[in-house]
Amino acid sequence: MPVAIITGASKGLGRALAEAFAERGWDLVLDARTEAVLKEAAAALSAHGTRVEALPGDVTDAGHRAALVAAAWKLGGVDLLVHNASALGAEPLVRLEELPLEGLRRALEVNTVAALGLVQEALPLLRAAPAGAVVTVSSDAAAEAYGTWGGYGASKAALDQLAAVLGVEEPGLRVWAVDPGDMATDLYAAAVPEDDGPRPEPGSVVPGFLRLLAERPASGRYGAPALLEGGR
């Protein structure tokens, strides 16, 4: 069976993706920092009968990233790497004049540097896979200038550029940066606690990711809402 590494898979979008892949027979290597929540998610996902390795840890830890890839190797390799774990840099978000530089560094470390670290670690296995693919989870904030989203948006814009160049450098792989659109998750609530307006559940955008895997379009940046409607 194909093997996927999904970071930040204890809840939100990562968990919804893990659920969809487990249902389709994928073996999974998952992480998140909060061990109890991750283990609970892994136990539920195991009910689908596929192998689920849940490794608690922080994606910014190089040893943890190596352990994720080693666990995937034991399951047979890496067919798909999803870099989904993310940091906002400030919770709630604040204007740039107030953004702690430490917060910006943290957003860059989690969202950008760790993504490249994990890709570097997994590349030999991705290249050896019959249809290796990397998904980096982006955001509208990477492309639009929304007040208070500057630090987070800058880290996602940098992630988009890493993904774009990786796609050029690795023509044998597919590298997709995916903007999932707004979703009702803890991350959004932490970013803008006063905005409790309705927004889609993370599971609603999963078909867009599945479509990428099924159709394997060219490497590039895709919006999940557009993917769901049939466009790019």
Ligand X SMILES: NC(=O)c1ccc[n+]([C@@H]2O[C@H](COP(=O)([O-])OP(=O)(O)OC[C@H]3O[C@@H](n4cnc5c(N)ncnc54)[C@H](OP(=O)(O)O)[C@@H]3O)[C@@H](O)[C@H]2O)c1
Of 171-230, which residues contact ligand X (CB under 6 A)? 180, 182-183, 185-188, 202
**CB neighbourhood size of 69 (10 A):** 22
Residues contacting residue 45 through CB under 8 Å, at least 6 positions apart: 18, 19, 22, 28, 30, 52
**According to CB under 6 A, which one of 19, 31, 53, 79 is a site residue for ligand X?**
31
- For residues 87 and 90, which CB has a smaller minimum distance to ligand X in the complex? 87
Q: Evaluate whether 213 touches 133 at the Cβ level (below 8 Å).
A: yes
Positive/negative CA dihedral, 87, 194, 15, 45? positive
Asked whether position 37 contacts ligand X by CB under 6 A, the answer is: yes
Question: DSSP secondary structure string, 86-140?
Answer: ---SSSS---GGG--HHHHHHHHIIIIIHHHHHHHHHHHHHHHSTT-EEEEE--G
Q: Which of residues 102 and 186 has its CB atom nearest to ligand X in the complex?
A: 186
Using Cβ positions, the residue closest to ligand X within the complex turns out to be 12
Please tell me whether residue 137 binds ligand X under the rule CB under 6 A.
yes
CB 202 within 8 A of CB 185: yes
Our finding on whether 7 is near ligand X (CB under 6 A) is yes
Q: What is the C-alpha to C-alpha distance for residues 116 and 171, in angstroms, rounded to an integer?
A: 17
Of 14 and 103, which has the nearer Cβ to ligand X?
Answer: 14
Q: Give catalytic status of residue 152 as yes or no.
A: yes
User: Helices 12-23 and 206-215, interaxial angle, to 10°?
Assistant: 50
Of the pair 9, 104, the CB lying nearest ligand X is at 9
Q: Binding marks (x or -) toward ligand X, 82..101, rule CB under 6 A?
A: --xxxx--------------
Q: Which amino acid is at 208?
A: G
Q: Which is nearer to ligand X, 10 or 172 (CB)?
A: 10
Minimum distance, C-beta of residue 172 to ligand X, in the bound complex (Å): 25
Rounded to the nearest whole angstrom, what is the least distance from the CB of residue 1 to ligand X in the complex? 23
Cα–Cα nearest to 2, from 123, 127, 131: 131
Which residues in this chain contact ligand X in the complex, by CB under 6 A?
7-14, 31-34, 37, 58-60, 84-87, 110, 137, 139, 180, 182-183, 185-188, 202
Q: Which residues are catalytic?
A: 138, 152, 156
